């Protein structure tokens, strides 16, 4: 996987690339059905007949490939995935609950930090992105990634604020938006169907630097999981006194991967299925799920 690229699929290839709503092109518009549903049904019937003809003449592999992509396209057009992107259809009270843009006046974020536009973006958009994630999950999106740029660096250098100031810019919106998401999911009875994973790619140094910031640290990092049928209200593991290394119940990235796979997929079936890419097999077999949450 390419470091820093959240849309990278690594060795799995472009067939697994995610759809980025803010990306280039007209994909978002093309997801909306522009013809009468009856005409779409007629076209699908015709395609089914053509696929049957391909099988008769011996092009079964091609037909199966077409079937898979056609089915995906049909479900997108006739389902409600495209509707999920239209937040104006949401209850105004719910929109208000998620809204993080009112938590602070972003014009007052210090411009001495080069990353001040990223701090402002985080404040303005994080709540709406989590609301969009809930709407997508409700409508069948299997995996959703949210990021608002790399604003969690707090080195107290030319780019990044100090820990205290920076946490006001990023921690306050995060706390507000995530709590709104959890309350919303609970109210909709979706706790066992949606797994929220909050983490980064590293932790921060146990000691504050001379300017009041922290540097990158691989020894230990925070991780929060919610939902997915897991046991809630658990604190798993502990750190050394300075918060620098695990002291008990060490949890690794492979454990997190395995927990996600075990929660969302029938891994017992996956272990015995033919054709599973080696990269996916390594995720499944690489470690055990976090047992304290099962």
How do residues 45-83 score in pLDDT, each as one tens digit?
766 655 665 555 555 554 455 566 666 666 665 556 667
**Token pair of 50 as six digits:** 């053509």
What are the structural domain ranges in the chain? Answer: 22-80, 85-219
pLDDT at 134: 95
Taking the C-alpha atoms of residue 205 and residue 209, their distance in angstroms, rounded to an integer, is 9
Confidence of residue 277 (pLDDT cuts 50, 70, 90): low
pLDDT at 276: 60
220: Cβ–Cβ under 8 A, 6 or more apart, which residues?
Answer: 203, 239, 243, 244, 245, 246
Look over the chain and give the mean of its residue pLDDT values, rounded to a whole number: 82
Q: Is the pLDDT of residue 27 over 60?
A: no
**Closest alpha carbon to 149 in 35, 2, 252, 6:** 6
Cβ neighbour number for residue 120 with a 10 Å cutoff: 19
pLDDT at 71: 65
Taking the C-alpha atoms of residue 44 and residue 51, their distance in angstroms, rounded to an integer, is 10
Note whether 123 and 173 are within 8 A (CB).
yes
Q: What share of the chain is helix, strand, coil (3-state, %, to 5)?
A: 50, 5, 45
Confidence of residue 115 (pLDDT cuts 50, 70, 90): very high
Percent of the chain with pLDDT over 70: 69
83: Cβ–Cβ under 8 A, 6 or more apart, which residues?
Answer: 89, 139
pLDDT at 76: 61
Taking the C-alpha atoms of residue 157 and residue 167, their distance in angstroms, rounded to an integer, is 15
Give the burial class of 46: count Cβ atoms within 10 A of its Cβ; 0-12 exposed, 13-18 middle, 19 or more buried. Answer: exposed
Q: Is the pLDDT of residue 97 over 70?
A: yes
Note whether 176 and 130 are within 8 A (CB).
no
pLDDT at 279: 65
Q: Is the pLDDT of residue 110 over 50?
A: yes
pLDDT at 1: 44
Taking the C-alpha atoms of residue 171 and residue 177, their distance in angstroms, rounded to an integer, is 10
Dump pLDDT digits (tens) for 222-233.
Answer: 999 999 999 999
The dihedrals phi and psi of 202, each to the nearest 5 degrees, come to -165, 170
Dump pLDDT digits (tens) for 245-255.
Answer: 999 999 999 89
Note whether 277 and 12 are within 8 A (CB).
yes
Distant-in-sequence contacts of 187-192, Cβ < 8 A, 24+ apart: 188/138, 190/134, 190/137, 190/138, 190/227, 191/226, 191/227, 191/229, 192/227, 192/228, 192/229
Taking the C-alpha atoms of residue 154 and residue 164, their distance in angstroms, rounded to an integer, is 9
pLDDT at 251: 94
- Three-state DSSP state, 31: coil
Q: Is the pLDDT of residue 269 over 50?
A: no
Q: Is the pLDDT of residue 132 over 70?
A: yes
pLDDT at 25: 55
Confidence of residue 267 (pLDDT cuts 50, 70, 90): very low
pLDDT at 281: 65
Dump pLDDT digits (tens) for 151-196.
Answer: 899 999 999 999 999 999 999 999 999 999 999 999 999 999 999 9
**Token pair of 151 as six digits:** 């604003």
Note whether 90 and 136 are within 8 A (CB).
no
pLDDT at 77: 58
């Amino acid at each position: 996987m390419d470091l820093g690229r959240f849309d990278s699929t690594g060795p799995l290839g472009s067939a697994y690339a995610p759809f980025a709503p803010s990306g280039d092109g007209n994909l978002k518009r093309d997801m909306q059905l522009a013809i009468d549903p009856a005409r779409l049904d007629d076209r699908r019937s015709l395609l089914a007949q053509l696929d049957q003809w391909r099988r008769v003449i011996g092009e079964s592999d091609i037909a199966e490939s077409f079937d898979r992509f056609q089915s995906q396209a049909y479900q997108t057009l006739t389902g409600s995935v495209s509707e999920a992107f239209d937040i104006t259809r949401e209850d105004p009270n719910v929109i208000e609950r998620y809204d993080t843009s009112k938590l602070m006046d972003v014009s007052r974020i210090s411009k001495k930090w080069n990353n001040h536009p990223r701090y402002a973006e985080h404040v303005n958009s994080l709540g709406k992105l989590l609301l969009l994630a809930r709407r997508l999950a409700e409508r069948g999106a299997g995996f959703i990634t949210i990021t608002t740029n790399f604003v969690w660096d707090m080195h107290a250098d030319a780019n990044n604020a100090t820990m205290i100031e920076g946490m006001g810019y990023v921690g306050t919106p995060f706390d507000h938006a995530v709590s709104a998401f959890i309350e919303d999911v609970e109210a909709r009875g979706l706790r066992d169907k949606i797994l929220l994973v909050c983490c980064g790619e590293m932790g921060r140094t146990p000691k504050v630097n001379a300017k009041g910031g922290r540097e990158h640290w691989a020894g230990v990092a925070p991780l929060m999981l919610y939902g997915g049928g897991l046991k809630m209200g658990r604190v798993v593991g502990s750190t050394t006194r300075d918060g620098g290394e695990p002291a008990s119940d060490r949890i690794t990235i492979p454990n997190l991967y395995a927990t996600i796979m075990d929660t969302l997929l029938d891994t017992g079936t996956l272990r015995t299925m033919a054709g599973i890419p080696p990269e996916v097999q390594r995720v499944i077999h690489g470690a055990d799920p976090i047992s304290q949450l099962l």
